[in-house]
Amino acid sequence: MIGLILRRIAQAVPTLFLVVTGSFFLIRLAPGGPFDLERPLPPAAMRNLAAVYGLDQPLLVQYGRYLGALMRGDLGPSFSFRDLTVADLFARGLPVSMTLGGLALVLALACGIGLGGWAAHRRGGWIDRAIGLLAGLTLALPNFVVAPLLQIVFGLTLRWLPVGGWEGGAPSHLMLPVLTLALPQVGAIARLTRASLNEALNAQPVRTMRAMGLPPHRIARHALRGALLPVVSVLGPTAAALLTGSVVVETIFGLPGIGRAFVDGALNRDYTLVMGTVVLVAVFVTLLNIVADIVCALLDPRLRTAR
């Protein structure tokens, strides 16, 4: 078990290194710089700015310095938000994205596993088919279509909920964005749960239990435990994507999260902000994948020694 965790962490290090290196040089290759304005600054001022941020050094020196700072957990100053560091910006944006993503994840899990389990329970019936159709639809509906639709229905027509804004995370402002984020994941999780539960309910152990006359709810508990493995294994990337914020949802609902910061940063050539976001997302994805692997290993002893 500990060996598995260590192996996963050892695998994560080169991945993160690749992310940092790749994004660092990709940004520097891009035309334009962080201080290019409509009216160019005088050359002396440009030189001063470049010196302050260390941009006058050779690229490799800059890269080394960035890596060094990153080791110490320093993401550097933001180029487009003067007087703020990237860490400051994350301290502002991350709670927003995390709140939305966390709630969406809980909602998606509850609804997805519930619906998937129900469909498997009523296999072949009209409920099964209806849930299948619903899941297919939520998967095919892009969030940038769902979000405006929700805004029209609940915001403009019914006037139940505000169409956007954050307002310190007031519950009424959270509803629509969380629903938009959760919807496609509900479909995905429901399908996965249904498929693997169907498989598990047909497998030998369950048949044996049935033959032994165990009550249905005990059989369901055993079947669900094995059937949740695939769900858990896709949960890593799903959770990472949800927690680090959806660019579209944050844009449409006007929320000050990480995704929005990333796109603005890329447009403004805010080198450190873009780098910081990519590193943050990569760390999240890696960590959550490791957690998902560990949970899988806890559920299924065979995975503890494999590989």
Distance CA 230, CA 300 (A): 11
Minimum CB separation of residue 117 from another protein in Å reads 20
For position 234 contacting another protein by CB under 8 A, the verdict is no
Minimum CB separation of residue 200 from another protein in Å reads 15
Minimum CB separation of residue 263 from another protein in Å reads 7
For position 212 contacting another protein by CB under 8 A, the verdict is no
For position 255 contacting another protein by CB under 8 A, the verdict is no
Comparing CB distances to another protein, the nearer of 199 and 214 is 199
Site residues for another protein, 116-175, by CB under 8 A, read 136-137, 139-142, 144-145, 147-149, 151-152, 156
Which region, judged by CB under 8 A, interacts with another protein, from 38-46, 47-55, 272-280, 298-306? Answer: 272-280
Comparing CB distances to another protein, the nearer of 96 and 258 is 258
For position 89 contacting another protein by CB under 8 A, the verdict is no
Among residues 1, 6, 9, 18, which is the contact residue for another protein, using CB under 8 A? 18
Among residues 252, 261, 292, 296, which is the contact residue for another protein, using CB under 8 A? 252
For position 233 contacting another protein by CB under 8 A, the verdict is no
3-state secondary structure the chain: CHHHHHHHHHHHHHHHHHHHHHHHHHHHHCCCCCCCCCCCCCHHHHHHHHHHCCCCCCHHHHHHHHHHHHHCCCCCECCCCCCCEHHHHHHHHHHHHHHHHHHHHHHHHHHHHHHHHHHHHCCCCHHHHHHHHHHHHHHHCCHHHHHHHHHHHHHHHCCCCCCCCCHHHCHHHHHHHHHHHHHHHHHHHHHHHHHHHHHHHHCHHHHHHHHHCCCHHHHHHHHHHHHHHHHHHHHHHHHHHHHCCCHHHHHHCCCCCHHHHHHHHHHCCCHHHHHHHHHHHHHHHHHHHHHHHHHHHHHCCHHHHCC
Asked if residue 116 lies in contact with residue 193, where contact means CB atoms within 8 angstroms, the answer is: yes
Please name the residue that has the structure tokens 């290194």.
17
What string marks each residue from 24 to 53 as x (binds another protein by CB under 8 A) or -? --xx-xxxx---------------------
Among residues 111, 200, 206, 282, which is the contact residue for another protein, using CB under 8 A? 282
- Residue spans of beta strands (DSSP E) within the chain: none
Among residues 1, 11, 25, 69, which is the contact residue for another protein, using CB under 8 A? 11
Among residues 34, 286, 292, 297, which is the contact residue for another protein, using CB under 8 A? 286
Asked if residue 66 lies in contact with residue 76, where contact means CB atoms within 8 angstroms, the answer is: yes
Comparing CB distances to another protein, the nearer of 220 and 293 is 293
For another protein, the binding residues (CB under 8 A) are 11-12, 14-15, 18-19, 22-23, 26-27, 29-32, 136-137, 139-142, 144-145, 147-149, 151-152, 156, 237, 244, 247-248, 251-252, 262-263, 266-267, 274, 277-278, 281-282, 285-286, 289
